[in-house]
Amino acid sequence: MTAIKGTSGRGQRELRVRVKTAKGRKLSSTLWLERQLNDPYVIQAKKDGYRGRAAYKILELDDRYGFLKPGCRVVDLGCAPGGWTQVAVGRVNALGDNPKKPVGTVLGIDLQEVEAIPGAELHQLDFLSDDADELVKGWLGGRADVVMSDMAAAASGHKGTDHLRIVALIEAALAFAFDVLEEGGTFVAKVLAGGAENEMQVMLKKNFKKVANVKPPASRADSSEKFVVAQGFRGRSVAVVDEAGE
């Protein structure tokens, strides 16, 4: 199981980095920097070679639900900076490190160029473009077993607006998943708790056999994010998809 231990405890001295506010730097920036420097997941990510603390979110979700299996074909939407992609490479045996297990495929997609990740195929692409689903299936050589997304819409500073934006983004990612997922496949994505995603939840439950909404330990306690893990895609049944509003 994936677990990150803190530095505090009986017989231990907790060492905390303090950051002074530099001239011209806002207090909020100083507090963010101090939190990053003291975050055990950030510290562990550097040790483990991951590109960000978000890697532990997908590790914890996979530990619990087991969707990243050796031999799987995985699409990581909005993959930058690449932490989720790195995890997927290891879990599906994309590098073939274990000769006794099938070799998987990991495809990372993002609007921006992403630094190469061994074992992954990265493409600069807008997944909302008309031909994105066909391009992805061509690159994979078939349909995906897993479509995952840690994407978040650009923050406006208004909680309600930001929530609606990320719900719209996740619905677009779900529509994309309907087009590229293999029957029995899994959809994993970040959402924000806020009450406007009821229609999306209905759509998920109609199209997948099991739907879980969970907040993994690596997700900060003060964050409103949670993750949906939808498993057992029922396939592109027009009746079910149309009823969901597509």
**82 annotated ligand-binding residue:** yes
pLDDT for the residue numbered 149: 96
**84 annotated ligand-binding residue:** yes
CA of 155: how far to CAs of 11, 15, 158, in Å?
A: 42, 32, 8
pLDDT tens-place values along the chain, 246 residues long: 455 654 433 333 444 545 445 455 454 444 434 454 556 778 887 898 899 889 999 999 999 999 999 999 999 999 999 999 999 999 999 999 999 999 999 999 999 999 999 999 999 999 999 999 999 999 999 999 999 999 877 666 676 677 778 788 889 999 999 999 999 999 999 987 655 467 888 899 999 999 999 999 888 777 778 899 999 999 976 435 444 444
Residue 144 falls within a domain, yes or no? Answer: yes
Q: Are residues 207 and 101 in the same domain?
A: yes
Is 137 part of the annotated catalytic residue set?
no
Q: Are residues 158 and 38 in the same domain?
A: no
**83 annotated ligand-binding residue:** no
**Among 7, 28, 48, where does a domain finish?**
48
Rounded Cα gap, residues 170 and 57, in angstroms? 17
pLDDT for the residue numbered 238: 42
CATH of the domain at 119: 3.40.50.150
pLDDT for the residue numbered 62: 98
pLDDT for the residue numbered 245: 45
**126 annotated ligand-binding residue:** yes
From 23, 190, 209, 215, the catalytic residue: 190
In terms of C-beta density within 10 A (0-12 exposed, 13-18 middle, 19 or more buried), how is residue 27 classed? exposed
Per the structure, the count of domains in the chain is 2
Rounded Cα gap, residues 178 and 235, in angstroms? 8
Residue carrying structure tokens 């900076």: 81
